[in-house]
Structure 1
Amino acid sequence: MDSVIQTIAVYAIPLIFAITLHEAAHGYVARMFGDPTAQLAGRVTLNPVRHIDPVGTLLVPILILLAAKLMGVGGLLFGWAKPVPVDFGRLRHPKRDMLWVAAAGPGVNLLMAIMWAIGLKLMIESGVQEDFFLGMAAAGVRVNLMLMALNLLPIPPLDGGRIVFSLLPNRLAWQYSKLEPYGMVILILLLATNMLGFLVAPVLALGNGIVRLFL
């Protein structure tokens, strides 16, 4: 049980900030492109309390970590925060600007993965031997790359789905958007059939390759 608690403690800070900053980035970029909805709702902030969803940010990741530790298997660690409200109609160029608002979240996750990796390298080179802090930095890399990869899946309403919508011609984009009510069902089916790991693997590999450029 002690090892389970330690694992949760190691992942807690990286996961909370990975999810929190992901959502804050959406609101910040939306504000840049003309939509103040998230700012008016107090969601353009780095305060985790404003973004935490008790189920998605805490319960689901903890259950995944518990299952992985107790069963001795790896798994896709994921979670979610309270969605930042974005009124795409208030963006200066709604369809075009949607791409940048959507890409902001995964982009911040990649940036955080790089920062955690640099921190890990600096700790190792300076002789830090505390397993807790080394483990936290390594977890920060893994968590952020996983959230980036999951969110870039081209399934609406995930960020990847928004990006695809923005890039498609108008008629195809509106047809594609009809998938959105079924997005969560598609995601669960992919997870249940073990296809989710296969689909995110290329993006994870790319993310790992980018992180290594800074080491």
Structure 2
Amino acid sequence: MSGLFDPLGLLIAAPGLLLALVLHEYAHARVAHHLGDPTPRAAGRLTLDPLAHLDPIGTLLLVLFGFGWAKPVPVNPWHFRNPLAGMALVAAAGPATNLALAFATFVIADLWEPTGLVGVAVRYVAIINVYLAVFNLIPIPPLDGSRVLRALLGRSGGWLDALESYGWLLLMLLLVTHTLDLVLHPLAALVMDGLAGLAAAVAGGR
């Protein structure tokens, strides 16, 4: 994913990118809290304060290379009425927030039509939100998509639990070998086209 972004564009878009990370994690915390889990509040994550959510190394890598991470929100699924379904809802909240931000950015861009450095920043904010959403929906632990898939599979999804300890290793392997790009880029492009088209329709109907 890093090859898609140039450092200047990412630095220009840095405030919006940091907002994307913060709101992604806050969405996880808010939904978990709403479903009855006190863990995020106890951990100080039920806040929009960036310092509570940002991982220094992950944020720096995101700004410089277009790939990074934030601090995972601690969640205890046993506080949910249905642990699997609750975890799926908590997991889906992050990517859904990024998609909503990307859509809002596309609408703003269509209405405002920013140019120059501002236009570059707006474009990168939309792109990074789409990529964050699509990447996190990949069904490999500990990404959000694995929690959603685990709930859908029910009793037959035990293999995902077994994969939990090795998920990051598998992700790193897929990233280093650029194997993930074969899926990530086409899916992100498809989502961006869809959101951009929907935003154009909304902006055009103002």
What TM-score do the two structures reach when normalised by structure 1? 0.84
- In structure 1, the partner of 2:153 is 168
- Partner residue, 1:190: 174
Q: Which amino acid aligns with 2:13?
A: Y
Letter in 1 for 2:180: L
Matched, 1:49 2:33: no
Select 1:199's aligned residue among 183, 186, 189.
183
Bigger drift between 188-197 and 153-162 goes to 188-197
Kept in 2: contact 1:98–1:163 (CA 8 A): yes
Q: Is the 8 A contact 1:38 1:86 kept in 2?
A: yes
* 8 A Cα contact 1:8 1:62, kept in partner: yes
Counterparts of 2:125 and 2:47, CA distance in 1: 20
Match of 1:31 among 17, 27, 33: 33
1:111 aligns with 2:93: no
Give the counterpart of 2:144 among 159, 162, 180.
Answer: 159
Instruction: Name the SS of the counterpart of 2:180 in structure 1.
Output: helix
What does residue range 55-204 of structure 1 map to in structure 2 within 5 Å?
A: 55-58=57-60, 60-64=61-65, 77-124=66-113, 128-129=114-115, 131-170=116-155, 172-204=156-188
Residues 98/84 of structure 1: CA separation in 2 closer, same or farther (3 Å cut)? same
**Residue by residue, what CA displacement relative to the aligned partner does 1:77-125 show, whole Å, maximum 9, x if unpaired?**
221111111111111211111111110000000000011111211221x
Among all aligned residue pairs of Structure 1 and Structure 2, give the percentage whose two residues are the same amino acid.
Answer: 40
C-alpha separation in 1, matches of 2:9 and 2:195: 26
Structure 1, residues 41-68: CA drift from partner, whole Å, max 9, x if none? 221222212111100112x12441xxxx
The residue type paired with residue 31 of structure 2 is V
1:178 is paired with a residue of what secondary structure? helix
Name the SS for the 2:72 alignment partner.
coil
Q: String of CA shifts for 1:17-76, please: whole Å, max 9, x gaps.
A: 111111110010111111121122221222212111100112x12441xxxxxxxxxxxx
Q: TM-score, normalised by structure 2?
A: 0.88
Q: Which residue of 2 aligns with 1:210?
A: 195
Provide the rounded CA distance (Å) in 1 between the counterparts of 2:51 and 2:32.
20
Q: Give ranges in structure 2 of 5+ residues lacking alignment.
A: 1-5, 201-206
Root-mean-square deviation over aligned CA pairs: 1.6
Q: Contact between 1:19 and 1:79, CA under 8 Å: does it hold in 2?
A: no
Equivalent-residue separation in structure 2 for 1:63 and 1:210 (angstroms) = 26
